[in-house]
Amino acid sequence: MRIAQEPAYVLHARPWRETSLLLEVLTEQHGRLGLVARGVTGPKKHVQRAALQPLQFIRLEADLRGELARLVSAEAVDTAPRLQGDAMLAAFYLNEVVLRLAPRHDPLPELFAAYGDARARLASTESLAWTLRRFERDLLEALGFGFALDVDADGQPIDAAARYVLEPEQGPRRLFLDRGRSERASAATGRALLCLAEDAQPPAEDLASLRLALRQLLVHYLGARGLKSWDMLGDLRQLRADT
């Protein structure tokens, strides 16, 4: 099958043989694709090679036969954002979580749109934490794992002053004061959930409560093997705490 003029974001690229690359891309109409890009790493191929780096937005043509497609052509649609520091780590996380959770050859146009939005926000002055929490919400929704954030698992309206654990398939479960400290530490505030439902950035303390709550939800779908980007972010936090 020929895929023609397909918008795509490059998620991952690694050398293959002497002059080729193995790519993973997120396309608008065909979902995540694995590609073989032959003859793109020679001394005179730097322009084409630059268009195939992670975060790059491209328009491609490919022949899909079996699990991997053969890249026929690719052109950059824009200039990939130049990210540094925390923003670069956040981009690495976006790419890794999509690679781990998005199945190949499954059209996910909502995820494609959410990725493009998050990519643009990473290069802006907006809160990185809020950008990532919004993307995690949209990722879960696009994959069919989402649930209402303004009512709890029992159908009761979310209480802004309460705390909630996010349970797969059931949604927010309210925690009461007699619960253990560790369980409450990984629970999101009701105010944070209501803001996430309304797509309105919550206050800093409430925003911080979403990180572990959503991570536990993602771990359920990722399985025992976590993400390398989580380890990198943890190491960075520890380094900052020690300095």
Decide: 28 and 112 in contact? Cβ < 8 Å. Answer: yes
For the chain, how many residues are written?
243
Single-letter amino acid, residue 215? R
Integer Cα distance of 61 and 182 in angstroms: 50
Q: Lowest mean pLDDT: which of 35-44, 49-58, 119-128, 143-152?
A: 35-44
Q: Among the listed ranges 52-66, 127-141, 152-166, 226-240, which one has the minimum average pLDDT value? A: 226-240
Q: What is the DSSP letter of 77?
A: S
Q: Which of 6-20, 55-69, 164-178, 228-242 has the lowest mean pLDDT?
A: 228-242
Predicted structure pTM score: 0.91
- Concatenate the DSSP letters of all residues of 21-58 into one string: EEEEEEETTTEEEEEEETT-SSTT-HHHHHTTSTT-EE
pLDDT tens-place string over residues 29-86:
999 999 999 888 766 566 677 789 999 999 999 998 888 999 999 999 998 999 999 9
**235 pLDDT higher than 90:** no
Domains of the chain: 2-76 (2.40.50.140), 85-242 (1.20.1440.120)
